[in-house]
Chain A
């Protein structure tokens, strides 16, 4: 069975600082990995996804993530945080044969301070 672990349920950064949200996966088969963002009282919005085409994936709003098989990681980064980035971020995994089923991490609440 596949799973993802998000280290740090809360992360706080200053506006303009680097954002780094950590995600490690566990899967016995090649994984497909996703990052979603959830703003208060809203559904989830896809930021980016890894589908084995390229290990460095660029997403919306300046976010990117790098798939590192040797470290079983898919960390999300953004060079410069903006106040509007404050939200909850979820890492998710799907695997071949699993259809559309996503297994989510526990989420990381990002706070951006002035």
Chain B
């Protein structure tokens, strides 16, 4: 069974641009969550999608948004990029929604903002 895939793996953008990252969950998984990983702030929860609806949101500005499609694939978008948005963005999928669900992480998309 294929794991969680994220595209692209690496991305370089300049300040003020916008970016869209994609996540394909494991087949049969309906929940997708996104995390930002930086050396300074560590791993921080961005948002969670289930059945095409955002179920939970972390403490990030409105420049960060996401969506989920009917096939459970998810995208996240960051508008008006800032230098501080440089990070590894991780996507995780799970079969269902719940506090004890095992989440499977993708390899991440490394975003560099210049």
Interface residues of A, Cβ cutoff 8 Å to B = 32, 36, 41-46, 49, 51, 90, 92, 94-107
Contact = CB atoms under 8 A, between A and B. Distances in A.
Contact of B33 (A101, A103, A106): A101
Interface stretch (B14-22, B67-75, B96-104): B96-104
A43 B108 contact: yes
A36 B43 CA distance: 12
Interface of B: 4, 31, 33, 35, 42-45, 48, 50, 55-56, 58, 90, 92, 94, 97-108
Contact of A49 (B4, B55, B102, B107): B102
B56 A98 contact: yes
B42 A107 contact: yes
Nearest to A97: B99
Taking chain B's interface residues, is the majority helix, strand, or loop, or is none over half, making it mixed? strand
A46 B102 contact: yes
Nearest to A29: B99
A95 B100 CA distance: 8
B99 A94 contact: yes
23 contacts: A32-B100, A41-B107, A43-B92, A43-B108, A44-B90, A44-B92, A44-B105, A92-B43, A98-B99, A99-B50, A99-B56, A99-B97, A99-B99, A100-B33, A100-B94, A100-B98, A101-B33, A101-B56, A102-B33, A102-B103, A104-B35, A104-B44, A105-B42
A98 B100 CA distance: 10
